[in-house]
Chain A
């Protein structure tokens, strides 16, 4: 978004650009996270469970989130006596950082992105693993057995589901012929399905298997039901977050929903055509304003699927989850890659 300033022909010093980028990425992380919490966690979940959700704070409870954040900030900052204080304090920041880094490579418009990385999607998948480190640190540093079990479960799970996620993306990369996310958007915009180019070629049509594998892996990466063993509240109290309270818990909470938003944005970019709409000019300046809104809408669509499953299914057991990853998703995604390669060569 901040790079859009460049098209307005304003010369900015490097530090000014950096400051703008920082504000921009904060907005890009926090606005989708807040929207997801309000729309899905507060309202959609409530409607599914035949209740209203928050109604008092602001019209239709829309200010509830501010109230919650205010509450968390006020709370006492508790660090268990036996905890490793420094690591305990560090862990939430590591997890949040990973979300910021994911969004770095996601384009919001022709010029509206934070960093033009040629290895875009590779970068996204690489930095998304950093959160595992934060979760492991949190699990270990809390000096709590439930946290430890949760942290280890999270590590096992996130590593197992990295693979299907990467393999699902490979199909898209083969079709687009580039790792650059902007390039993937352009490839979908200019693509054709059997000679018909009216709606471009959103890869969800040709990579539908990849899309579903990506969604399942996303669900597992976000540790949301049915893959929420690391925080399984009926078993592990709250897993690696058990000992966290106040501001630090808030950071974990933001990270959870911001990464849901970030992964949904990545999925929207990879499979739904990103910020582009069929029939618009990709270089048009107004797309720098419309593009983020389009991406937000597509992101909400993907997030809807993710949260729908979250509020519906019971959770797997740890071994069943690993079986799903290794015995079903990974072979399926390998077959998907082979099929994509064969078709790419043929046509």
Chain B
């Protein structure tokens, strides 16, 4: 029997394939597993490199940057009003919230203040961006843990929020609506009643998710005690938002940030914390925050002041020389813009501090020693948006 060249090659290939897998399995460091950049759990292009011993993570590292779009540099060659259209795309699920801190920083430099009505509507849209963002998180949480159904409910109910945002701004995802000194337009007719109905719907959704997921024994078994972040460790890694409030740190920039230009001080709301610091705590805090956000929107809709929606600003905006840093409590956590102006039409330098980038920086510490399925739970509960990491 003669062996053809093709057979010989196939044999060598098969042996080589075995050998390659074996080499990686038999080294002392265990198997290196690349989770991402293309992987369903990273909803985007995050890459987590994990060394596994069986299914246990020995060592893990996060490699961001696969979606870097250079917004800080791009902002330097745009005028101030044009920058909002860029930063819309940082945290794409809660777009409007990205515009707010930048506009506030510019307002601070120009020493203008938006009228009361503009501040109220701005806050309403800010909180609706939070609702749109976290509703999707609550649904996606189920999908990450293997429950396929909640994510559809999330998309269904988020659509109503997006409809309302679209009715005001004309954009479902990228409103580009915030202006230095106020807003582009006033609210359309009948919008307030519709919005209140939508907020009621979102509260119903929160209840549904609480029943479906948070009360589920498997969900609790998967999340309780998994990925525990002690408060001091979380603070030292620069965690913010619900990720740090889940560790019991009572810190919310909406209340503690001293931000002018938003109307959170005018309404009655509560900062939720959870003492446990595990994945369940982080998810639970986000659920409560969504409810709180709908209440803020309701109250603001009720007490909407009259008056103009735009302060007096020049047609061509030149921002005087100076530096300003404004940080707000965005859906994902603290988001800040450090804006340096040299008196030109556009900013000289913009530094963007985004929440997700700091939040994922704890992952190498947090993932050490956990099991492979817990990686997914932890990634889901830290809740990052890839655009917010890479910018």
Residue positions of A touching B, CB distance < 8 A:
45, 48-51, 81-86, 143, 145-146, 148-149, 225-226, 228-229, 232-235, 237, 311-320
Instruction: Report Cα–Cα, A229/B374, bound state, in Å.
Output: 12
Q: How far, in Å, is B381 (CB) from chain A's closest CB?
A: 13
Q: Are A149 and B376 in contact (CB under 8 A)?
A: no
Q: Is B202 an interface residue (CB 8 A)?
A: no
Of A48, A81, A312, A313, most B-chain CB atoms within 10 Å = A313
B41: interface (CB < 8 Å): yes
The contact of A316 among B13, B24, B33, B218, by CB within 8 Å, is: B218
Q: B residues within 8 A CB of A49? A: 148-149, 152-153
**Chain A residue, CB-CB nearest to B374:** A317
Q: Does B39 contact A (CB under 8 A)?
A: yes
Contact (A313, B21) CB under 8 Å given A145-B33, A235-B372: no
Q: Which of A85, A229, A318 contacts B14 (CB 8 A)?
A: A85
Contact A232 B146 (CB under 8 A): yes
Residues in A neighbouring B41, C-beta threshold 8 A: 234-235
Partner of B216, one of A311, A314, A320: A314
| Residue B55, interface by CB 8 Å | yes
Expressed in whole angstroms, the minimum distance between the Cβ of B141 and any Cβ of chain A is 9
Residues in A with CB closer than 8 Å to B148 are: 45, 49, 225, 311
**Interface hub of B145, B374, B376 (most chain A Cβ within 10 A):** B145
A235-B371 Cα distance, complex, nearest whole Å: 11
Q: B39: which of A83, A84, A237, A319 is its contact (CB, 8 Å)?
A: A237
Please determine whether A233 and B40 come into contact, CB atoms closer than 8 angstroms: yes
Contacts A149-B55, A313-B216, A318-B55 given; does A84 touch B18 at CB 8 Å: yes
Quick one: closest A residue to B146, CB to CB? A315
Please determine whether B221 and A317 come into contact, CB atoms closer than 8 angstroms. yes
Chain B residue at minimum C-beta to C-beta distance from A227 = B146
Main secondary structure of the interface of A (DSSP, over half): loop
Name the B residues within 8 Å of A225 (CB-CB): 146-148
Q: Are the CB atoms of A229 and B373 closer together than 8 Å?
A: yes
With contacts A149-B33, A228-B146 known, what are 4 further pairs, Cβ within 8 A? A50-B152, A50-B153, A82-B13, A318-B55
> B118: shortest Cβ distance to chain A, in Å?
37
* Distance in Å: Cβ of A174 to nearest Cβ of chain B: 32
Which residues of the partner chain B approach A316 to less than 8 Å between Cβ atoms?
218, 221-222
Contact check, A314 vs B145: say whether CB atoms are below 8 A apart. yes
Counting from the closest, the 8 A-B pairs by CB-CB distance are A315-B146, A49-B152, A314-B145, A314-B147, A82-B17, A143-B17, A234-B41, A317-B373
Partner of A84, one of B14, B55, B153, B221: B14
A16 to B147, CA, bound (A): 48
- A48: chain B residues at CB < 8 Å are 149
The answer to the question of B16 belonging to the interface, with a C-beta cut-off of 8 Å to chain A, is: yes
Is B144 among interface residues, defined by CB-CB distance under 8 A? yes
Does residue B219 face the partner (Cβ distance < 8 Å to A)? yes
Q: List 10 A-B contacts (CB under 8 A).
A: A82-B20, A143-B17, A148-B21, A149-B372, A313-B146, A314-B142, A314-B147, A316-B221, A318-B371, A320-B222
Contacts of B219 in A (CB 8 A): 314
Residues of A within 8 A of B153 (CB): 49-50
CB nearest to A316 among chain B residues: B218
Contact A143 B21 (CB under 8 A): yes
Known: A233-B40, A234-B376. A319 touches B21 (CB 8 A): no
Select the residue from B14, B143, B219, B375 with max chain A CB neighbours within 10 A: B14
B149-A83 in contact (CB<8A): no
CB closest chain-A residue, reference B35: A235
B17-A83 in contact (CB<8A): yes
A-contacting residues, B12-31, CB 8 Å: 13-14, 16-18, 20-21, 24, 31
Give A118 to B216 CA distance when docked, in angstroms. 43
Most chain A C-beta atoms within 10 Å of own C-beta, residue among B40, B143, B146: B146
B14 CB contacts on chain A under 8 angstroms = 84-86
A82 CB contacts on chain B under 8 angstroms = 13, 16-17, 20
Q: What is the CB-to-nearest-CB distance from B76 to chain A, in angstroms, rounded to a whole number?
A: 39
Say yes or no for B197: interface residue by CB 8 A criterion: no
Minimum CB distance partner of A84 in chain B = B14
How many whole Å from B212's CB to the nearest CB in chain A? 8
Docked complex Cα distance between A85 and B16 (Å): 12
Q: Is B213 an interface residue (CB 8 A)?
A: yes
Q: Chain A residues with Cβ under 8 A from B142's Cβ?
A: 314
User: Which of B16, B31, B156, B213 has a CB less than 8 Å from the CB of A145?
Assistant: B31
Q: A51-B152, A232-B373, A317-B374 are in contact. Are A85 and B147 (CB under 8 A)?
A: no
Interface residue B10 (Cβ < 8 Å from any Cβ of A):
yes
Cα-based distance from A237 to B33 in the complex (angstroms):
12
Q: Is the CB of B372 within 8 A of A314?
A: no
Are the C-beta atoms of B146 and A234 separated by less than 8 Å? yes
Asked if residues B147 and A317 are in contact (CB atoms below 8 Å), the reply is no
Give the chain A neighbours of B221 by CB distance below 8 A: 316-317, 320
Output the nearest chain A residue to B39 by Cβ-Cβ distance. Answer: A237
Which residues of B have CB within 8 Å of A312? 147, 149, 212
Q: How far is the CA of A84 from the CA of B373 in the complex (A)?
A: 28
Give the Cβ gap from B148 to chain A, nearest Cβ, in Å. Answer: 6
Task: Select from chain A the residue with minimum beta-carbon distance to B375.
Answer: A235
Contacts of B149 in A (CB 8 A): 48-49, 311-312
- In the complex, are the beta carbons of A317 and B371 less than 8 A apart? yes
Contact digits for B142-167, partner A, Cβ 8 Å, 1 yes 0 no: 11111111001100100000000000
